[in-house]
Amino acid sequence: MKSIVCLHSLTPDQIGQIGQAAPGFDLIVKNKKDVSAEQIQNAEVILGWSKTIAEEALREYSKLKWVQTWSAGVDTLPLERLRDKGVLLTSASGVHAIPISESIIGMMLSFSRQLHMAVRHQLKKEWKSDLAVPGLGTLGEISGKTLVIVGVGEIGRETARLAKAFGLRVIGVRRSDKPEPHVDRMYKMDNLHEALGQGDYIVNILPLTAETRHMFNAAAWNAAKKGAYFINVGRGPTVDTASLINALNSGRLSGAGLDVFEEEPLPAEHPLWEMEQVIITPHVAGSNDRYAERVIDIFADNLKAYVQGQKPPRNLVDYGRMY
């Protein structure tokens, strides 16, 4: 019998959902430590991924034909080996739109209302009505400001929708300049620096590719509007961290909200920890209590097509673009 190996916990309802989509498949639900080499080698479909299963899954004689990741990003997977083996790869892109967009708005509000400084004073039991970071102004508001979203996909669209409700002007940047309902103006990636020069808040939602690595560098900060806030919920290596720290120290940027980093976990001795104008979250912007539910919805839709001999319709990764 053909088999599906899932490396993540599932509820009985989710198991039933997969069973209805692929009644002719045996579903094996085990974590990466308990699944056997034989089960991986015989799996036609793998839901999730781990470095620990890579060698068995990619052996010449393994039966693997399709991997559905549990994550939106695929840059940590062995893309060349999967491509060379002819494996279909689909991501969980789209599951993060609501939690990440809410995290973005939360960081923007925190900077505007200096909530991150209020928490620091609270921990010290200090009553300070002047919450502003020295040299970076006073309490403000996001209404009337301009938000630049770099990488307008599912997350960017939802962020733009929320931003309009707060009265922001929204500029988008992506490969295509095709208009979006809540984006006032869309730029192509070639015009990134022109767009950055208009943003009071700059949000990076780019995937990691050869083209996007260190795209946010000294030249980008110099092109950005002086005093802008930068928020990164895309991929850590799309940012040159050393140049980011320089931009923050010089006042070129007023602050940074960072959920992802070039090195994770961020080392305890890293200077970003000590910077008052920086908000750090440990790569959790996309986490929430509905994550698994949304992944399984994507997987079930793809699975229904797959068992009928069709390519998965949702989030099929283009190996050339790496997303």
Q: How confident is residue 193, by pLDDT bands cut at 50, 70 and 90?
A: very high
Please tell me the predicted confidence (pLDDT) of residue 137: 55
Percent of the chain with pLDDT over 90: 95
Task: Give the active site residue among 96, 174, 182, 235.
Answer: 235
Tokens of 151: 């990488």
Task: Supply the DSSP string of 208-242, one letter for each residue.
Answer: P-TTTTT-BSHHHHHHSPTTEEEEE-S-GGGB-HH
Residue 283 known to be catalytic:
yes
Residue 296, classed as helix, strand or coil, is helix
> Residues for the chain: how many in total?
323
For all residues of the chain together, what is the average pLDDT? 96
- The answer, yes or no, to whether residue 133 has pLDDT greater than 70, is no
CATH 3.40.50.720 spans which residues of the chain?
A: 2-94+289-306, 97-280
Conformation bin of residue 174: beta by default, left when phi > 0, alpha when psi is -120 to 50: beta
Instruction: Kindly report the pTM of this predicted structure.
Output: 0.89
* CB 121, CB 244: distance < 8 Å: no
Q: What tens digit of pLDDT does each residue of 252-279 get?
A: 999 999 999 999 999 999 999 999 999 9
pLDDT over 90 (residue 287): yes
pLDDT confidence bin for 138, thresholds 50/70/90? confident
Residue 55 has a CB neighbour count (10 Å cut-off) of 14
311: how many CB neighbours lie within 10 A of its CB?
11
**Domain 97-280 falls in which CATH fold?**
Rossmann fold (3.40.50)
User: From the candidates 263, 264, 290, 321, which is the catalytic residue?
Assistant: 264
Reduce the secondary structure of 88-146 to three states and give it as a string.
EEECCCCCCHHHHHHHHHHHHHHHHHCHHHHHHHHHCCCCCCCCCCCCCCCCCCCCCCE
| Given the residues 270, 283, 294, 314, the one annotated as active site | 283
Question: What residues does 89 pair with on adjacent strands?
Answer: 67
How many CB atoms neighbour CB 92 within 10 A? 25
Instruction: Fold for 2-94+289-306, please state it.
Output: Rossmann fold (3.40.50)
CB 294 within 8 A of CB 17: no
- Of all residues in the chain, the percent with pLDDT exceeding 70 is 98
Q: How far apart are CA 221 and CA 244, in angstroms?
A: 8
pLDDT digits (tens, 9 = 90+) for 12-63: 999 999 999 999 999 999 999 999 999 999 999 999 999 999 999 999 999 9
Is 235 annotated in the active site? yes
How far is the C-alpha of 66 from the C-alpha of 47, rounded, in Å?
A: 9
Average pLDDT over residues 271-299: 96
Name the burial class of residue 107, with classes exposed (0-12), middle (13-18) and buried (19+) by CB atoms within 10 angstroms of its CB. Answer: buried
